[in-house]
Structure 1
Amino acid sequence: MSEPEATNPVADDDGSACDRNQPQDVWFLAGTFGGHVKRACSVPAGRPVAFPVVNLFSDRADCAAFMSSAYGTVFLDGEKLEPETYEGESITVHSVRGNAVTGTGGSITAVGCGLWVRLQSLAPGAHTLRIRGQSGDFSTGVDYTLTVEAPSA
């Protein structure tokens, strides 16, 4: 929500926006607004990684319906990972004008739900990440080629 659609990592087709507005304590990888993409992204060494498999930002009733059929698969370097389930948590986001979800700027409080994965920092080098998620007729998928930078001396 902190990026307009033109530079939003969720709308990114190739990974060129993966470093937009990253906090210092975790590296977020974006899902999609629906559909499948392939992205290449560099990740700083020593930074935990988090990403959605499939998720929704709405109200409690919509989240309950969404989560009733939500499922997904994640493979990191060929190893299957189990996503964590978030049934619905109240969250406040600060949106910018032109964001694909809100359209306008300002603070919005809603319910966030979905399947997410949190990882400790990855070893330096190349990694492949395959994410597939679905709920009802909404599906998302991202094939990431990740390059974890070597720690600076």
Structure 2
Amino acid sequence: MTENVRLPSAELQGRWWTWAASEPDATNPVADTDGSACGRNQPHDVWFLAGTFGGQVKRACEVPSGRPIAAPVVNLLADSQNCAAFMSGAQGTVLLDGTAVEPETYKGDSIMVQGAQDNPVTGEEGRFTATGCGLWVQLPPLASGTHSLKIRGRSGDFSIGVDYVLTVAASSV
């Protein structure tokens, strides 16, 4: 993924859910309370950030230089009917260094997910198909230095808030 290329919604969601479901509870990036698990199992072409299972957290993460970032604002893995209900009330905001970033709306895509044993995200081990939906952001690579990313999402009674401090190392090129 380069600066000007965005992952299609089904690919982004399938890859993100597989990433999020690749770790057990103790090291899962969605269950992470401080950012210590944000670097686990990251793909080489994009840097994924996680929401929460509900509630607010503050995380500090180091992000490699030149890596685009993708994160859900609020998302769901379900069937098409539950996704439709979830998306009818979905709302969210994203602030990158104090500037609003408009989330993209993915109403429901059939996606392929691979879950690891004992993962708290899908509860399923192995490969399966589901419907993914939500509000998402895809950011181009950030300049070196420290950045603030504030994500707030809600649908019905479910809400999340994540305050990230992202540190991007200077490029070694």
TM beyond 0.5: yes
State the number of aligned residues: 153
1:140 aligns with 2:126: no
The one-character-per-residue Cα deviations of 1:14-72 (angstroms, maximum 9, x if unpaired) are 00000011000000011111110000000000000000000000000000000000000
Q: Which among 28, 32, 43 is matched to residue 12 of structure 1?
A: 32
CA distance in 1, matches of 2:121, 2:140: 29
| Correspondence 1:17-96 to 2 at 5 A | 17-96=37-116
Shift of 1:152: 1.4
Q: What TM-score, normalized by structure 2, do the two folds share?
A: 0.87
Deviation at 1:5, TM superposition (A): 1.3
- Bigger fraction of residues in helix: 2
Q: Which residue of 1 aligns with 2:22?
A: 2
| Unaligned 5+ runs, structure 1 | none
In structure 2, the residue corresponding to 1:65 is in which secondary structure?
Answer: helix
Q: Is residue 109 from structure 1 mapped to residue 139 from structure 2 by the alignment? A: no
Structure that is richer in strand per residue = 1
Moved over 6 A (4+): none
Task: Tell me the percent identity.
Answer: 69
**Alpha-carbon distance, 1:104 to partner:** 3.7
**RMSD over aligned Cα atoms:** 0.8
- The match for 1:121 is 141
